[in-house]
Every structure is written in C-alpha cells, then in structure tokens.
Amino acid sequence: MSVNSNCSVSRRELLRAGTGLAVASAMLWPRLSLAAAASDYEIAPGPGRAFLKGEQGQSTSVWAYNTRIPGPEVRIRQGQPVRIVVENRLEEDTTVHWHGIRLPNAMDGVPGLTQPPIKPGERFVYKFTPPDAGTFWYHPHANSLQQLGRGLAGALIIEEPEPVHVDRDVLWVLADWRLDSDGKIAPGFGNPMEAAMSGRVGNSVTLNGSVPEDQSVRAGERVRLRLINVSLARIMALRFEGHTPVIVAVDGQPCDPHEPKGGRLLLGPAMRLDLVIDMQGESGKRYAVIDDFYDGLAYELTNLAYASQSPLRKNPLNAPLRLPRNPLPVPDLPNAERHEMVLQGGMPSMRDMMGGGKMQGMSRMSGGMAGHGPAIWSINGTSMTGDGHDAEIPPLITLKQGRSHFITMRNETAWWHPMHLHGFSFRVINRNGAPVPHNQWADTVLLAPKDTVDIAFVADNPGDWMLHCHVTDHQTAGLMTVIRVA
C-alpha cells in the first residue's frame, strides 16, 4: 500500500488516470494535469467505463471521478492543508462533499446551502486542513441518487503523523450497483415505492471498483483494513470466517479497540470501519468474508486467500492496537442543551398495520414540504427533499455555538436509517437507553427500526449543516434537514 502524501504521487495518479479506459477523457487530460501545483489534487467528475461484471464481461458506462471507479484516493496528512480543484465534466451541476471532515462550512459542498452548484465545464477549488486522522470519503451532493448511484465516490484518507504499527494498510471501497441483464446501470432511480422502503438496493457489489477477487494475505501479518460503504442504500453485515477483526475506529474516529458483537461488522451507507486483523489462518487456505445483513440474501463478498509462504511471524504482533486520539472537543453532558429528532414516514411494517397504524407523520408534512420529488419521510414533521438545494425550509434547530448539545433521535419508522450530520463528529452516547460502549464517535449512526439513539457534540463549527439519512432515496424523499450553528 502506498503511504505517501506528497504531491508527486497525486500527480502521477492523475496522469495514470489519463491513460485509463475512456479515450475521450484521456484526450482531455493533459490540459488539466499541467495546471497542477504541488500538494494539489485535481478531480474531474465525468463519464467513465468500468468492468462491473468482471474483466471478461462488457464494460459498463458509469459516472466517475477522473474516469476511475472508485475515484482517486486522496491521501493527506492530518493538519496539512490541501487544495482540491474540481472540474465538472458531467452534463449537469455537481459539487463535492468531503464526508466526515470537520471543515469550514463554505467547503462542505452542499449546493444552494454552502456554495453555488458547479456548472458543467466549471471549476471549484476546495481548500481545507483536516483536523482529524482517519478514513473518510468524498461524493457529490447534487442529484445524489444518480450521481452516487452511477459511481461518483472516492476515498479520503487522513494519515496519522506517526504511522500505526501494522504490516499493511488496506482499503476496501465497497459499492453496490443495480445492473440490468446487459450489465448496464438499471434505470428507475427515485422509485417512490422503493424510497418508502429500503431504498435502491442493487444486485452486485464491487470492491475497489471491480468484482471482488480473492484478497491475498500472508499468515502472521497484521493488516489495517479500512472499510468504506459507498452504496446508495445497501447495508452490510460482514463476517470474517476464522478471524477476529478488532474495530479500532468508527467513521474515522478512534474508539477503544474491540471485537464486534457476534463477529458481525455493521456498515450502513456512508459508514466506515477501521479494523486490525491478525492473519492467523493457515498458509494456503481460503477464508470467506460473508455479508449476511438481509435475511435469506447472504453472499460471499470475497475470500482471504493465504499465500503458501511460511508465516511472517509465529505469534500475533505485540504492538498496541489503539489509534492516537483526534483533537475532538468533548461534550459537557451535564450542561448540554437537549434536543429531539423524530424520524417518521415510509411504509409501515406488518406489525404496525395490524395495530392499525398508518404512515405516521405523513399528514403533518404539508406544512414543510420543499424541493423536488415526493415527501415520504420527515424529521420532526418536516420534509426537505432533493439535495438541500432549496434552503426554503428554515433550519430545524439553531444550536448555540460553542455549547454542548445532546440530541435524541427517535426512529419511529419500520426501516433502518444511517443518520449523518455534516461538519461534526459526535459521541454516540446511548442506544435504546443503554450506554454505547468503547467510546464511540461517528458522523453517521445507524438506527434500526424503532431505535432511539442519543448523540452529543460541541457545536464549535458555525454554519448551516445538513443532517440526513444516507440511504439516498430516504434523503431525497424527506429524511433530511438543516441545523444551524450560530
């Protein structure tokens, strides 16, 4: 794995992208590369092609950053300023959102709220200095269903100043696609029926942009594995047969190292997990990695394939697993201001229907509808739809800047929601009344049907920030709002 953060790497990466699959884009490359300065990244969303059905299959036309699926890996150092030039080569407006990064509001990439959209052919320069090390990602925040669903996503890795003691640092960008029988991206984005249920869950999952092949490992090695779920809607629950991964960070933020409950790693859309895995399997053997989130739909994501080589070491590495802390302000819980957010809408569950329930919240939505498309979901009775373009809805709440805030999120729906807040990482305090162990921070917290989760954070970053479900169909159909910090 490259552990480089210098400019030559990003330049080279960019140039390599130019020799990629799409001839048309390759011809556009030289112009863009010449403009690159030291420590710059240049990222151009536009058309591309990818082998989503395997190298022998037909290639699929996708939307991609620098023609690659996933987009170029942006790797920078904690506390090091970065400048990223985005040139829009799509035929529609776009923006780039740096998911999970605590950055100035104007750099957050929400069209209509934090910046004007980047028009086709135009550029926008993002500049920020990431305060936290960890695993993050970037994606568009315009026409999100299609732009994300057609492939626009990339990893954003912020490196610790002192590298952590592992043998390899490995990244798996996991993406879900709905392909038709010819291998094309199936139409029908934004189907309201789907939006009222689990969202557009696809039928093929890629790992780093291709059909997952065996992942070669060596007995005895210690691997840091960064998982990013960039799916529109697919929730994953991964199990590593014969292995005991240790979670060392959630959404980029270090936690107390711990083994997941029941050996299952839950990963909703936009969520990340950093794992440390000691490869204690047998040389020459294969061990399956299984995703069994959806009942009756378990599948083998990939395999850890051990080389026949002798083990790298006999006993697992005896180095600490804990990652260095990030400079997060710690909320003052006893003095925190309290707020509540109630998530409603969607299709009722069978049980709710038997009990005579209807689509709760629907009747109260008319007052606060804005944006495009149907309002199927709501937060505190208000539905903001689309991507946040229409800031006609006043902020749901205004948080006093500098104070600690404690938010209770109540999921009254029958569906799962990875709830995401821009601009902050929050402590996940309680789930259904029970304290959440292992000192977990997150920017996206997964609520099971009927879950209640308490989060807390210091509102130290002024601006208007999105809060929304990261199941994109839910987001664009109303499960979204704006929080003002002032």
CB of 141 to ligand C2O, least distance (A): 6
Q: Which is nearer to ligand C2O, 89 or 422 (CB)?
A: 422
Measured between its terminal Cα atoms, the distance across the chain in Å is: 42
CB of 174 to Cu ion, least distance (A): 18
The interface partner of residue 474, options being Cu ion, ligand C2O, none and the CB cut-off 5 to 8 Å by kind, is Cu ion
Nearest in space to 136 (alpha carbons), one of 274, 245, 30, 38: 274
Nearest in space to 97 (alpha carbons), one of 185, 340, 49, 84: 84
474 binds Cu ion (CB under 5 A): yes
Contact 410, 342 (CB under 8 A): yes
Q: How far is CA 90 from CA 68, 87, 174, 331, in A?
A: 14, 9, 23, 41
Q: Which is nearer to ligand C2O, 99 or 200 (CB)?
A: 99
The interface partner of residue 417, options being ligand C2O, Cu ion, none and the CB cut-off 5 to 8 Å by kind, is Cu ion
Q: Give the binding range for Cu ion (CB under 5 A) out of 53-61, 222-230, 330-338, 421-429.
A: 421-429
Q: Which is nearer to ligand C2O, 141 or 218 (CB)?
A: 141
Site string for Cu ion, 273-312 (x = CB under 5 A): ----------------------------------------
The interface partner of residue 89, options being Cu ion, ligand C2O, none and the CB cut-off 5 to 8 Å by kind, is none
Selected from 49, 99, 178, 200, the binder of Cu ion by CB under 5 A is: 99
Nearest in space to 292 (alpha carbons), one of 270, 262, 271: 262
Contact 272, 229 (CB under 8 A): yes
Which residue's structure tokens are 């006043």?
394
The radius of gyration of the chain's CA atoms, rounded to the nearest angstrom, is 22
Total residues contacting Cu ion by CB under 5 A comes to: 6
Kindly give the pairing relationship between strand 215-217 and strand 299-306. Answer: parallel
The interface partner of residue 468, options being ligand C2O, Cu ion, none and the CB cut-off 5 to 8 Å by kind, is ligand C2O
Query: Tokens in use for 80?
Result: 């090091």
Q: Which is nearer to ligand C2O, 99 or 239 (CB)?
A: 99
422 binds Cu ion (CB under 5 A): yes
The DSSP call for residue 57 is S
272 binds Cu ion (CB under 5 A): no
The interface partner of residue 234, options being ligand C2O, Cu ion, none and the CB cut-off 5 to 8 Å by kind, is none
Q: Give the binding range for Cu ion (CB under 5 A) out of 37-45, 110-118, 247-255, 462-470.
A: 462-470
Binding site for ligand C2O (CB under 6 A): 97, 99, 139, 141, 270, 420, 422, 466, 468, 470
The residue nearest ligand C2O at its CB is 99
Nearest in space to 108 (alpha carbons), one of 117, 116, 99: 99
Distance CA(442)–CA(4), nearest Å, equals: 26
Query: Tokens in use for 223?
Result: 């691997």
Kindly give the pairing relationship between strand 134-139 and strand 97-99. Answer: antiparallel
141 binds Cu ion (CB under 5 A): no
Q: Which residues pair with 434 in a beta bridge?
A: 431
CB of 99 to ligand C2O, least distance (A): 4
CB of 482 to Cu ion, least distance (A): 13
Distance CA(30)–CA(7), nearest Å, equals: 17
CB of 347 to ligand C2O, least distance (A): 24
The neighbour count for residue 327, using CB atoms within 10 Å, is 10
Q: Which is nearer to ligand C2O, 227 or 270 (CB)?
A: 270
Query: Tokens in use for 332?
Result: 């003052």
Helix 23-34 to helix 7-18 angle, to the nearest 10 degrees? 150
Query: Tokens in use for 375?
Result: 């309002």
CB of 480 to ligand C2O, least distance (A): 8
The interface partner of residue 469, options being ligand C2O, Cu ion, none and the CB cut-off 5 to 8 Å by kind, is Cu ion
Selected from 417, 427, 431, 468, the binder of Cu ion by CB under 5 A is: 417
Q: Which is nearer to ligand C2O, 420 or 474 (CB)?
A: 420
Q: Which is nearer to Cu ion, 167 or 387 (CB)?
A: 387
Distance CA(80)–CA(467), nearest Å, equals: 27
The DSSP call for residue 72 is E
Which residues contribute to the site for Cu ion (CB under 5 A)?
99, 417, 422, 469, 471, 474
